[in-house]
A and B are shown apart, each in its own frame.
Chain A
Amino acid sequence: MYILKRIGFYLSIFWAAITLNFILPRLMPGNAASAIMARAQGQMNPQALKALELAFGVNTSASMWQQYWSYLGNTLTGHFGVSFTYFPEPVTEVIGSTLPWTLFLIGVATIVSFVLGTGIGMFAAWRRGTAIADALPVGFTLIASMPYFWVALALLYVFGFSLGWFPIAHSFNVSQPLGFNFSSLGDIFYYAALPILSIVVTSIGGWTLGMRNNLVSILSEDYITLAHMKGLPEREVMVNYGARNAMLPQITSFAMSLGFVVGGAILTEIVFSYPGIGYALYQAVTNSDYPLMQAIFLIIVTAVLLANLLVDILYSRLDPRVTHS
């Protein structure tokens, strides 16, 4: 079945990512591993050091294969070791506390830009020939070429710094601890507003253009002509015959764009000092915190794979040609 094939594929990618994590430090020129080890000597407890040795294959007589198997085992059981940056917190805890913020950020931003972008794209296709509808694609093309992080910076400067309407860092008010109440909820959205806005601004262009182009292509299909011949109201034709078909490639490109969205979110988090997983990755890299870095990379890949799988399931629901063959 279609879904099973996709799951199989994603598992293979997951395996590839783990293997990549394993191979890279051993491939890299220079003795990055030993340099790290030297640095770590003074800072870590013996278990953490041992984990590091295992991760890099240093100071061990085990063969490549043995190292690989134990690495695989450790990874799949969640033993990622201890983070340098957030010492002595184990990596899993760091991820646990940062991942939700990122999921929230990306989740809200993606949904908003997808819905808005698709809607505007539909409008641009429907009202093709009018001044507004034709100017939109060009405008969005320009906006979409702006670097994510620069838009974030600009927004931060204008709305956070100059106008002071929004906070310029973090995800919530550090003086007020979070709890399950409306004030906390309000806080969360307030602090997330600018980061979300910056992601939406840069990614909306892609959705708009994609939907517009899809719909324009679809509008010259025979079934659209027949729908008009049937004397159906314009709106019904546009939605049931046009948009429902144009959505399919739109959803496919949604899946493919997830990688870019993640990249953009990382940069946005860094600019806003938003304590998500992207921010943590940045800290990890600048501090050569390999355990944390590898784990975050794997988590990011896993999240993208899961999202892809969900989109696949959604697509198979929407396109009858996939399931009813």
Chain B
Amino acid sequence: MQRDEQVTFSVQDVSVSYPTVRGWVQAVRNVDLQIRKGELVGLAGESGSGKSTLVLAATRVLRAPAVKVTGRVEIMGQDVFAWSDKELRAQRWQTFSFVTQSAMNALNPVMRVRAQMHDAMRAHDANYSKVKGDKRCEEVLRIVEVPAAKLDSYPHQLSGGQRQRVVIALALLLLPQLVIMDEPTTALDVVAQREIIALIRRLQRELGFAVLLITHDLSLLLEVADSVTVMYGGRVMESGTSHQLLQGASHPYSRALIHSFPPLHGAMQRQEGIPGTPPDMLNPPTGCPFAARCTLATQECSDSMPPLMRYGEHQVACHKVSAADTQGVML
């Protein structure tokens, strides 16, 4: 792993667990993640893989005693967990912001869009003025291609696509270094999805912020992300540049994921789902969490957790994968 001074977001050996009436659920186990300046990093996995929990816990949106977090998280080189509450609140939105899952509910139904933008600016900008604020509102709406008139609308008056764009505009208000997007396009139709993703990519190139894109759509990530991390059962299964993964995704899970999404263009293929269900995180299985559903699994897979082997930037955690496989040679 290269030590890069331009590391925007760094997750080092983080584990997250939370208590339920039936015991502790170990949602995330020993995850490493790095996002460099201006990078678009994808985090892929099914529902329940721990991807959202990881990010929400790492940014202290989920807090003790609701969750227990071990490991180290850094944003712009600073230790996130060393911040006081006040510092944390000051860093929010200015240094890192969010685009959340259900944009339908992400906006306050009784406040106009303009007001919801102004309050973010007012909370963080010492030199806030209403005039400056209005100007900024219009700017951000322009770059997400929403008419400025919508500033005085209420959320329910916007279409789904517009709402999502507004949420994105909101996230860019204070020009943060990092924007974390959790399933930003799941609620939209396929065409709108592509538009939004293209917009994000374009804005990112123009404004230079880093993006952490969380989604279950691995094939989408492979198209737009610089690097991708695949999670399953709270652990990292594979990670690498999208080029590496496109050429030779080695982990059985990643490959199954890729094959389960039909591309928008191209010939018709037979789609395969992945039979089985995600593991019970209350009593996680010893060994590889994917073993129960993996076609290549052997006894070794159920007995011991495969270590995350590093081959340059490409990392795989699978007993069945050797160095040769990661160079693009099909198993």
Contacts and interface: CB of A to CB of B under 8 A. Distances in A.
Question: Interface extent on A, as a size class?
Answer: 20 to 34
A88 B106 CA distance: 66
Interface string B119-150: 11001100000000000000000000000000
Contacts of A236: 119, 123
A230 B108 contact: no
A127 interface: no
B110 A226 contact: no
A223 to B, nearest CB: 5
Nearest to A222: B105
A245 B109 contact: yes
Interface string A238-249: 001100110010
A237 B267 CA distance: 51
A320 B102 CA distance: 20
Question: Interface extent on B, as a size class?
Answer: 20 to 34
Nearest to A244: B110
The secondary structure that dominates the A interface is helix
B90 A321 contact: no
Interface centre among B94, B119, B124, B156 (most CB of A within 10 A): B119
B100 A232 contact: no
Contacts of B97: 229-230
Contact of A229 (B93, B102, B107, B157): B93
B105 to A, nearest CB: 4
A236 B10 CA distance: 31
A320 B109 contact: yes
Given A229-B61, A233-B123, A320-B156, A223 B107 contact: yes
A97 interface: no
Contacts of B101: 222
A215 to B, nearest CB: 14
A134 interface: no
B65 to A, nearest CB: 10
B72 interface: no
A228 interface: yes
A158 B111 CA distance: 48
Given A226-B98, A229-B92, A245 B119 contact: no
B89 interface: yes
A173 interface: no
A221 interface: yes
Given A222-B100, A324-B157, A232 B119 contact: yes
A240 B123 contact: no
Contact of A231 (B90, B100, B109): B90
Given A228-B61, A321-B154, A324-B153, 11 more contacts: A226-B100, A226-B106, A229-B92, A229-B93, A229-B100, A230-B92, A231-B89, A240-B111, A241-B111, A245-B109, A320-B109
